[in-house]
Amino acid sequence: MQCLKSAWRVMMILPILTSSFVLADDHMLNGMNVQQPFNLQANLCKLNPGVSLDDYHAMVEDYLAWAEKNDVDPVFVRQFPLFAHQTLARPWPYDFVEFLASDYERWGKSWDLWLTSKSGMALNERWQSLAVCDVKQAHAQVLYANREALESDDDRYVTWNWCTPKVGWEQLEQKHNEYVADIKRDSAGMIGWALMFPHTGGADSPGEFAHLAIYPDIESFMKRRKMEANGGWRGLREYYQTYADCGGEQLMSEAVMLRP
């Protein structure tokens, strides 16, 4: 994610890349229809001085109860950097990142309640007293999903790779379709693959879109690295040389906090 900068680069409206989709016939995942694009909110958070993660999490639990009561509960996950791009000269600017996934209509209702209801405004004030969070909105598109694994694994790992296209979206879609076909034959440890396109608040993103690959454990992550080392690098080189400029993968640990 190349340090998940405090704001993401503003983007023009982009066509979402639809692709060969691997899931059950009903296309439902964690209560959402992910056959179509959905909204993904990112909270890039740094705790205020004297606030512990336990203090913050107590507020999150109250938020999740509020969201369920108002029928606007999202898929809610929290990520921490594990193998990141940061150095002493360019430190990681946040304590953690949260992602909230929902369909667009449900998320619009959620924000209206958050900003106008007494209970929502009280939670918002409490949230801001505990942490400074840069909030971004993005389109997300699932390209591959092992439903059973994704719906049962609450502690997993996610790689991020920010990219900017070199070719038209139709060519990029075709190449992604080829990758999905390869994953269907051999996932090499991966249980999910998605694309993310920032749509609001993205003034300083590291690229125009991001690849997200999900793994159940580090062993699975290393299984894919082994595949790349034993010839898979040729496909990566072709993608980087021909299809997109990418910053390279970094790995985040992820905890699932809520599924609707």
Output DSSP code: residue 55: H
Residue 219 is encoded by which pair of tokens?
A: 């062993």
Residue 139 has what pLDDT? Answer: 94
> pTM of this prediction?
0.85
Tell me the domains of the chain and their CATH numbers. Answer: 2-258 (3.30.70.100)
Name the amino acid, one letter, at 77. V
Residue 198 is encoded by which pair of tokens?
A: 């920032």
CA triplet 250, 251, 257: central angle to 5 degrees? 135
Q: Which tens digit of pLDDT belongs to each residue from 9-62? A: 323 333 344 444 444 334 666 666 667 899 999 999 999 999 999 999 999 999
Residue 152 has what pLDDT? Answer: 87
- Alpha carbon distance 31, 196 (integer Å): 19
- CA-based nearest residue to 72, from 44, 35, 104: 104
Residue 147 has what pLDDT? Answer: 85
Residue 15 has what pLDDT? Answer: 38
Residue 214 has what pLDDT? Answer: 95
Residue 33 has what pLDDT? Answer: 66
Residue 231 has what pLDDT? Answer: 87
Residue 28 has what pLDDT? Answer: 62
- 3-state secondary structure labels for all residues of 75-100: EEEEEEEEECCCCCCCCCCCCEEEEE
- Alpha carbon distance 102, 145 (integer Å): 17
Residue 52 has what pLDDT? Answer: 97
CB contact set of 194 (below 8 Å; sequence gap of 6+): 140, 141, 142, 143, 211, 212, 214
Give the residue ranges of the chain where pLDDT is below 70.
Answer: 1-34
Beta partners for 160? 212, 250
Q: How far is CA 34 from CA 28, 72, 108, in A?
A: 6, 17, 18
